Structure 1
Amino acid sequence: MPVLSISPFFLLILLFSFFLTHLPNPNATAVAAPADFLKLPLLHKPPFSSPSQSLSSDTHRLSLLFSRPNPTLKSPLISGASTGSGQYFVDIRLGTPPQSLLLVADTGSDLVWVKCSACRNCSHHPPSSAFLPRHSSSFSPFHCFDPHCRLLPHAPHHLCNHTRLHSPCRFLYSYADGSLSSGFFSKETTTLKSLSGSEIHLKGLSFGCGFRISGPSVSGAQFNGARGVMGLGRGSISFSSQLGRRFGNKFSYCLMDYTLSPPPTSFLMIGGGLHSLPLTNATKISYTPLQINPLSPTFYYITIHSITIDGVKLPINPAVWEIDEQGNGGTVVDSGTTLTYLTKTAYEEVLKSVRRRVKLPNAAELTPGFDLCVNASGESRRPSLPRLRFRLGGGAVFAPPPRNYFLETEEGVMCLAIRAVESGNGFSVIGNLMQQGFLLEFDKEESRLGFTRRGCGLP
């Protein structure tokens, strides 16, 4: 989550995706919305108190990822790093009158859900950390036999009380590490405050009102500061899909470097697209096709053809990036994972090449969890580090600056913030640290991912 560094996390099991359709929620409508988009701030707090927190949160996140079961809104995104989370948060107001809640912005899951006041095992959270449905005049759980209930993975019709006329729709999501969220699948009025200061009201947003929340993925340190998850995946119940018909079936975001002072504003934009921003004609926008993995349709897959370091192409067999017949492999862009994870064969080549080319001395000792750390204390300016480039499908080239893959774990010590995928059938993950400073557009209509280094600093 998290957006954790994991981001952006909270992945449902593989079969979760089989039961999701691709129809936007007809009940989610915008009232007094801008003509073509919603732009919301993404909230990002200070960095991890220790690098081990980003690694531990990623570990939980990846355990979930690898167990698969024309208008616009622009909103702030907040980082949760100061709370022990590497996530980015969206501040939404749920109910009538509205209650303010921070949700992890997560491209790696579909469900929108919040902790609700009746949560039986949330005693360690203060009352203010939960949504209070009894205080909202617009809260309404779906009926067990409502068509929206059938959009849930494993639609739990066995939980329906066939003797009661108004039996509510119950959801139960379990995760690979034993974490779970369960409660009533409901609809509610939502208020979003855009970066311009205007408020947007959405009626009939489908979400899970969680009465039972347990496990490290949804209640551990990586989740600190969050009240739930805003799923932005490709499934029909995600936030972006529910608003899709109204806002053009696309969304974009910019994750800014939270180490800068003062921290620049990150944002999430639903609809509009890159053409809605005042970019110059000289702005280069690159596009790469989004792949569809039938066995994991929630995720945003891209194709990596090759990696170069300082202009030298690494000897990596292209087959290591492919999705096999069992749905394993491939590369996912995930806002809820902090670090970047590469399939082991590719990671070993990257590590070997970076180690050979780095000009700085090794750190006195490795920071736990990292394989390469250098001593940059003698550098008066930003140190010179090897340059990494990914050649993607469609001819696009993703060339992040070194600060996106070298993390300062303590004063004067910088470590390579790329890890190996330990799971034999896992996929590679481009995490939110690697994405910082880029404006990314997820265009589901055209099935493509657009990105540019321009536009992030715009108000």
Structure 2
Amino acid sequence: MAAHFNNLVTIAFAAVVVWVLQLELGEAFGTFGFDIHHRYSDPVKGILDLQGLPEKGSVDYYSAWVARDQHRLSKGRRLAESGDSDMLTFEAGNETVQISALGFLHYAKVSVGMPPLSFLVALDTGSNLFWLPCDCSNCVRSLILGRGAIIDFNMYSPNASSTSEIVPCNDLCEQRRQCLAESNACPYRVAYLSQNTSSQGILVEDVLHLVTEGSQQKSIDAPITFGCGIQQTGAFLDGGAPNGLFGLGMSDVSVPSVLASKGIAAKSFSMCFGLHGLGRIVFGDKGNSNQGETPLNIEQSHATYNISLTQIAVEKNVTDVDFTVVFDSGTSLTYLNDPAYTIITQNFNSFAKDPRSQILSNSSIPFEYCYDMSPNQTVIEFPDLNLTMKGGDQFHVFDPLIVLHLENDSLSYCLAVVKSGDINIIGQNFMTGYRVVFDSEKQVLGWEQSDCYNDTESKTSTLPINK
């Protein structure tokens, strides 16, 4: 059975993709996973001494978050339980890195082709297309790190991989009028809506190398179709995803969908967001009976992980609401329209125990509600924030704050919610402390409290301060 994908889909970085891919449907089995780190996490900073990294906790640090998010959003951005056995990870390893020049996405190393080549790819639940820089005429080949060190990126080439096949230019190729006659290759084009950002090339088939995580390791070579990105422009040359983009969206062309169509994993995966920037991603993970769940809103022109909220509770103040929001791992902060923005921020302010900051109210900081801390303060007490999803399950926000280190060595903190002019987005900061399950097969979003590596943590409304 052929699945045709021939409509416009808005993806991460406010991109539009047009292409077609033939998929063979089959029964899904197994799961696989690898570690993810936010690019500013302390463990990643220990791996690479990176140049140009804003000081963590500074105003510039969080202003850069918002600048990166708003760059992507300003042009109308798109928006059976698995056991512990048969867990798989990328064969290239489960280490991930955060690089200051690469936006605010999570990154992981993947291995593709034969002989295998490793690529440092950006992970985003709002993207569908998996593409790699390939026989490039215009792309990033290396990065300069701190103290002048250079990291070289691999470039994919169909001619260099014995398992590579070019997708032919036939009736299933949407852009067959632009086919290259000499190669009979099906082209793809990713056209971005801002700053002349794009990726274009041809579609290829090759293998993605996976391996089971257990003591008895087993290699799995997953056949996938992806973009051979011959030419990149704009943001791909200046920052985001210079060595490839790993699509995790709902479309039939996304990596989770392709793995499901090949019978390798269920069309579901989880991402865990640890309190200190460490995380994990597991394909085929359908969660468990203890997790919270809410249905996905699938009646959209562009399918996203979109759900409905019915209630907002800040401490004892409970407000009924009715609006939709997108869960997006590719957005660092949380963006809300009114009335949700005002409900959360004003109720939070009414319960705040520390004085409202006058210094930050006149600064370029993107947060409206910030508070000053006393010199000897070691703990922040803040009100409980709970979101009730359609169906009645609650989503407790563990870490809605951002702590700022000011120039005079004083500390302040802000409620890390930005007022949005259009779409509502739950970003990485609100997902902290959860394993979030993106289940396209069951058409639900699930969540369970987790620190990603050890036991689950207790609910708390205090934060220790690291000075």
Higher helix share: 1
Q: How many residues align?
A: 402
The 2-side partners of 1:228 and 1:27 are apart by 26
Is residue 304 of structure 1 aligned with residue 309 of structure 2? yes
The 2-side partners of 1:64 and 1:20 are apart by 25
SS in structure 2 at match of 1:111: coil
2:388 is matched with: 391
SS in structure 2 at match of 1:118: strand
The 2-side partners of 1:229 and 1:199 are apart by 26
2:244 is matched with: 228
The 2-side partners of 1:273 and 1:29 are apart by 15
What is the CA-CA distance between 1:294 and the residue it aligns to?
2.8
1:407 aligns with one of 380, 402, 411:
402
1:37 aligns with one of 6, 31, 39:
31
1:326 is matched with: none
The 2-side partners of 1:390 and 1:213 are apart by 40
Write the deviation string for residues 87-137 of structure 1: whole angstroms up to 9, x where unpaired.
111210112111111111111011001122423254776893242314322
2:152 is matched with: 128
Is residue 446 of structure 1 aligned with residue 442 of structure 2? yes
2:366 aligns with one of 359, 369, 373:
369
Is residue 170 of structure 1 aligned with residue 187 of structure 2? yes
Is residue 420 of structure 1 aligned with residue 401 of structure 2? no
Write the deviation string for residues 204-256 of structure 1: whole angstroms up to 9, x where unpaired.
3111111211123x3334x26x5111111110110100011321221111111
Work out which structure has the larger RCO, using CA pairs closer than 8 Å and 6 or more positions apart in sequence.
1
2:345 is matched with: 351
Write the deviation string for residues 385-438 of structure 1: whole angstroms up to 9, x where unpaired.
12211110111100111x2x211232622122111112xxx3211101111110
Query: What amino acid maps onto 1:201 in structure 2?
Result: I
Structure 2 CA distance for partners of 1:77 and 1:377, relative to 1, 3 Å: farther
Query: What amino acid maps onto 2:187 in structure 1?
Result: R
Map 1:183-222 → 2, pairs under 5 A: 183-192=201-210, 196=214, 198=217, 200-216=219-235, 218-221=236-239
Write the deviation string for residues 359-387 of structure 1: whole angstroms up to 9, x where unpaired.
11233522522212212354643310122
The 2-side partners of 1:248 and 1:227 are apart by 27
What is the CA-CA distance between 1:64 and the residue it aligns to?
5.4
2:328 aligns with one of 323, 331, 334:
334
1:432 aligns with one of 421, 428, 433:
428
Map 1:64-143 → 2, pairs under 5 A: 66=77, 73-74=88-89, 76=94, 78=96, 80=98, 82-83=100-101, 85-122=103-140, 128-133=152-157, 134-143=159-168
SS in structure 2 at match of 1:293: coil
Unmatched tracts of structure 1, length 5 or more? 1-7, 260-264, 276-282, 322-329
SS in structure 2 at match of 1:109: coil
Write the deviation string for residues 139-169 of structure 1: whole angstroms up to 9, x where unpaired.
222111173xx4xxxx2122024x55x4211
Is the contact made by 1:255 and 1:437 (CA closer than 8 Å) also made in structure 2? yes
Higher strand share: 2
The 1-side partners of 2:397 and 2:251 are apart by 29
Structure 2 CA distance for partners of 1:44 and 1:200, relative to 1, 3 Å: farther
Q: Which runs of 4+ in 1 moved over 6 A?
A: 27-30
Is the contact made by 2:286 and 2:437 (CA closer than 8 Å) also made in structure 1? yes
1:295 is matched with: 301
> How well do the aligned residues superpose, as a CA RMSD in angstroms?
3.1
Taking structure 2 as the reference length, what is the TM-score of the superposition?
A: 0.77
Structure 2 CA distance for partners of 1:409 and 1:200, relative to 1, 3 Å: farther
The 2-side partners of 1:53 and 1:115 are apart by 26
1:273 aligns with one of 283, 286, 304:
286
Is the contact made by 1:40 and 1:193 (CA closer than 8 Å) also made in structure 2? no
The 1-side partners of 2:20 and 2:336 are apart by 28
Query: What's the % identity of the aligned pairs?
Result: 22
Taking structure 1 as the reference length, what is the TM-score of the superposition?
A: 0.78
